[in-house]
């Protein structure tokens, strides 16, 4: 087994190698650094070089990376422009919740007789796909789900959600952008403008004297924000600690983005995206494909039906209500995955103006997930 220190260094430095290869090899650049980080993470996590005792360190590293990234990504955003499209964002969230409830209920009808504790599974899936993993764990306790059912549900959730994510950032984004209206930023005008504030991800010159100093200052501010968010999360019940931490960090990031001295710091966005690459690599390495169980095939089918059925019904409803592709995609990600994955998908879409939409709808999902999941469970019982 590889030592823990070497693994930590690998996770922190490997994204630099991925970015270098993307610059040198056009084919890899088209695939994208995020997809490559996921593929590398899957390989590393499933070839037997990581000791199971390292999983807690992996989890901590992934959480720290995304919490550091969020303020850096927000510093350069135009918050006032987002307010103009907030109504469309909340409509996309409402349509996503409707799609989720329809697919959970119909899936229970299709697979319920073959899935142990099916009504409880329905509640957990509703909670995790409207909020996130904290909701899954909370509903497990509230409904007294057995450990075996919970572990299998969580395992298939990881597998199917990862397949969903790969689909979205490769084929899905192309298909949905052709099917749905295009995103138009209220903050951009001018002839030839496509309405998208693109993520350039230009890492050149990041170590120049005039850039690295202020950038280290931005990272230092992000560390302080992380510390503040963690401190606030410790004074609330454990079930709400993740929500409070992300909400606090997002709020501080938004407030500081309105300070000109902070918002003008160059390469802060690229630095945040680098942390997201580390996060992607670590999260992918946590997936354990050895846990597949042929006896629980119907549970896997139910989870897959819930994930992909919700996505496609959400897109159909978005078409009906004329919600643009990028807003629909980022809202779907904030529900199916949760806020930490929002910046990664925004990077794949090359549109940083949708990050705030994803973070806010994801936080709302955290808030409603437990209520919605438990309600649906008892309605289907």
Mean pLDDT for 303-330 is: 94
Q: For residue 309, what pLDDT is reported?
A: 95
Token pair, residue 48, equals 């037997």
Residue that has been written with the tokens 């000109």 in this structure? 260
Q: Residue 241: count other Cβ atoms within 10 Å of its Cβ.
A: 17
Q: What is the CA radius of gyration of the chain?
A: 20
251-286 burial string, b = 16+ CB within 10 Å, else e? bbbbebbeeeebbebbbbbbbbbbbbbbbbbbbbbb
Q: Which fold has domain 4-183+209-380?
A: Na+/H+ antiporter like fold (1.20.1530)
Domain boundaries, the chain: 4-183+209-380
pLDDT by residue (tens digit) across 334-355?
898 877 788 878 888 888 788 8
CB of 167 closer than 8 Å to CB of 307: no
By C-alpha distance, which of 249, 255, 261 is closest to 213? Answer: 261
Residue appearing with tokens 């989890």: 59
Higher pLDDT, 280 or 230: 230
Q: Give this prediction's pTM.
A: 0.68
53: tokens are 């005792």
pLDDT in tens, 186-217: 655 443 344 444 444 567 778 787 888 889 99
List Cα–Cα distances, 297 to 62, 103, 167, 220, 253, in angstroms.
Answer: 30, 18, 21, 48, 43
28-42 pLDDT, tens digit per residue, is 877 778 778 888 988
């Amino acid at each position: 087994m590889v030592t823990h220190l070497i693994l930590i260094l690998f996770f922190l430095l490997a994204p630099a190698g991925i970015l270098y290869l993307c610059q040198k090899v056009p084919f890899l650049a088209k695939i994208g650094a995020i997809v490559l980080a996921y593929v590398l993470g899957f390989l590393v996590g499933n070839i037997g070089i990581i000791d199971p005792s390292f999983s807690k360190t992996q989890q901590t590293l992934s959480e720290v990376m995304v919490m550091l990234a969020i303020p850096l990504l927000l510093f350069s955003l135009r918050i006032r422009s987002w307010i103009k499209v907030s109504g469309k964002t909340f409509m996309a969230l409402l349509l996503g919740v409707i799609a989720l409830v329809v697919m959970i209920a119909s899936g229970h009808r299709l697979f319920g007789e073959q899935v142990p504790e099916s009504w409880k599974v329905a509640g957990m899936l509703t909670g995790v796909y409207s909020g996130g993993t904290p909701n899954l764990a909370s509903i497990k306790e509230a409904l007294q789900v057995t450990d075996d059912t919970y572990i299998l549900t969580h395992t298939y959730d990881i597998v199917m959600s990862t397949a969903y994510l790969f689909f979205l950032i490769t084929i899905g984004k192309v298909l949905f952008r052709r099917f749905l209206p295009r995103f138009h930023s209220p903050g951009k005008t001018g002839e030839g403008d496509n309405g998208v504030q693109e993520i350039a991800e230009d890492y050149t010159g990041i170590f120049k004297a005039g850039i690295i100093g202020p950038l280290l200052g931005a990272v230092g501010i992000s560390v302080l924000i992380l510390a503040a968010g963690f401190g606030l999360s410790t004074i609330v019940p454990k079930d709400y600690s993740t929500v409070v931490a992300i909400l606090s960090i997002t709020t501080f990031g938004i407030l500081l983005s309105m300070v000109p001295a902070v918002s003008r710091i160059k390469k802060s966005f690229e630095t945040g995206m680098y942390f997201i690459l580390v996060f992607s690599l670590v999260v992918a390495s946590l997936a354990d494909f050895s846990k597949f169980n042929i006896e629980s095939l119907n549970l896997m089918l139910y989870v897959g039906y819930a994930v992909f059925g919700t996505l496609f019904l959400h897109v159909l409803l978005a078409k009906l209500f004329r919600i643009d592709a990028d807003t629909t995609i980022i809202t779907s990600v904030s529900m199916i995955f949760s806020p930490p994955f929002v910046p990664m998908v925004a990077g794949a879409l090359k549109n940083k103006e949708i990050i705030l939409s994803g973070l806010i709808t994801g936080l709302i999902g955290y808030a409603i997930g437990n209520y919605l999941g438990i309600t649906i469970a008892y309605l289907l019982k």
